[in-house]
Amino acid sequence: MLGRMMRPFRASLNPERDVELSQYLAGWRELVRFLIPLGSIFAFATSEASAKVTALEALVHGPEAAHYTSLATMVAWERPGIAPRLSAGCPGSMTMLLLHRALRWSQLCLHRVATGMLGGPDAGAQCSDAYGTALAPHHPWFVRQAAHLAFLAFPSRGRLLELACPGSKEAEARNALVRAAGTLEDVYNRTQGLLADGGLLELA
């Protein structure tokens, strides 16, 4: 499960210090599949990530596909003033930004679940805290309230580790999850740098 998710994310990091969009989206497809069993919190925390993945895939395979092979080509193409014929503003960059923040939440949440100590905050509290850091500042009040409620039903650490690595020992599952969170952090960091260079972090 985690391997299927990490392979495309790792492959998205190309040697040109860029992010290949088709691989990034393939990674997201697997991440969504992984997060769905976490329940309703997933819908709030990621604000319908599937719909955003689908929207970006449409650009990657659309008539302007040549401009949507990587994050850098997309940012260059959509940069305000460069492509005035894009009446809808920066559709790809905007969608990417929302996925990017949701990826941050996933990464922080998985890392904390993997490294949490006995007697420390439970998995729900850790991921709720990650939500407060990565997503809440960008969500309207009613979404934050709904997310707060959804975190009350968050699965236990044991259940999460079992979902991540069915049938493994706890220590193995924790190690695998730490590695997965590290890959997500690599992807997050590179994406963050490219979005910042393009002046796109302030879009929404």
Ligand X SMILES: *[C@@H]1O[C@H](CO)[C@@H](O)[C@H](O)[C@H]1NC(C)=O
133 sits near ligand X (criterion: CB under 6 A): no
Instruction: Name the β-bridge partners of 19.
Output: 13
Return all residues near 14 (Cβ < 8 A) that are at least 6 apart. Answer: 20, 70
Q: How far is the CB of 111 from ligand X (least distance, A)?
A: 10
x-marked contacts with ligand X along 72-111 as a string, rule CB under 6 A: ----------------------------------------
**Which residue, 122 or 186, is less far from ligand X as judged by CB?**
186
- Candidate list 69, 185, 201, 203; residue touching ligand X; CB under 6 A: 185
187's tokens: 């992807």
| Alpha-carbon span 46 to 41, nearest angstrom | 8
Q: Which residues contact 39 (CB under 8 A, 6 or more apart)?
A: 150, 153, 154, 155
**What is the rounded distance in angstroms from the CA atom of residue 57 to the CA atom of residue 47?**
17
Q: Shortest approach of ligand X to residue 12 CB, angstroms? A: 14
* Residue 179 sits in the site that holds ligand X (CB under 6 A): no
Among 47, 182, 201, 203, binds ligand X (CB under 6 A): 182
- State the Cα–Cα distance between residues 35 and 45, nearest whole angstrom: 10
Q: State how far the alpha carbon of 18 is from the alpha carbons of 54, 75, 125, 163, in Å.
A: 21, 11, 34, 31
Q: Which of 189, 196, 199, 204 forms a contact with ligand X (CB under 6 A)?
A: 189
Least separation in angstroms between CB 16 and ligand X? 17
Which one of the spans 25-33, 150-158, 163-171, 181-189 is the region binding ligand X (CB under 6 A)?
181-189
Could you tell me the smallest distance in angstroms from the CB atom of residue 181 to ligand X?
A: 9
Cα angle 102-104-110, degrees, rounded to a multiple of 5: 100
Shortest Cβ 74–ligand X spacing (Å): 22
Residue nearest to ligand X (CB): 189
Establish if 186 lies at the interface with ligand X (CB under 6 A): yes
Query: Token pair for residue 11?
Result: 């492959």
Q: Record the tokens describing residue 177, joined without a space.
A: 């999850």
Site residues for ligand X per CB under 6 A: 182, 185-186, 189
